[in-house]
Structure 1
Amino acid sequence: MIADVLDAVRRGDRAALVVLLHPYLHWTEGGSTIRGRNKVFARLDGGPMPVAPASFELRDGQVYRWVAAERAP
């Protein structure tokens, strides 16, 4: 599931991400949380490529919560 999300981000496949990411997704990176799939799309469009999360939660077969690992300084 996570590999599919990362692959879809890498390919810029928005249709695949709609299927994989829950509409009420909570995306946490660097101590801040973005809520909502459309806001996460904006982050993915304008930010660095995400890496596999430290933890995640599925709801209804979609990624509902994504918590990024802290990057080394």
Structure 2
Amino acid sequence: MPEPTARAWSLIDARDFSGAHPLLHPYLHWHDKELVLRGRTKVLAHLRQHPRPRPPDRVEVRDGQVYRWVRD
């Protein structure tokens, strides 16, 4: 996984959402199988209420932040 995705994944896996926040783009596109979310705030809110996601299959990084997180 390219940086900062590896760091973000590690923090999310540890449930450190405040640490992951600055690594995720404000307009984050999150696709986890059938689940599609848009926006860092919505993604983090979802993750706080659900089990840990699996690592992504593909990512896109923009401006040093994870912009697209896709798990097929």
Aligned residues: 69
TM-score by length of 1: 0.81
Partners of 1:32 and 1:9 in 2: CA distance = 17
Aligned identity (percent) is: 43
Structure 2: runs of 5 or more not aligned: none
Of 34-43 and 1-10, more deviation after overlay is shown by: 1-10
CA-atom RMSD, angstroms?
Answer: 1.4
Q: Give the secondary-structure state (helix, strand or coil) at the position aligned to 2:53.
A: coil
Moved over 3 A (4+): none
TM-score normalised by the chain length of structure 2? 0.82
| 8 Å contact kept, 1:55–1:67 | yes
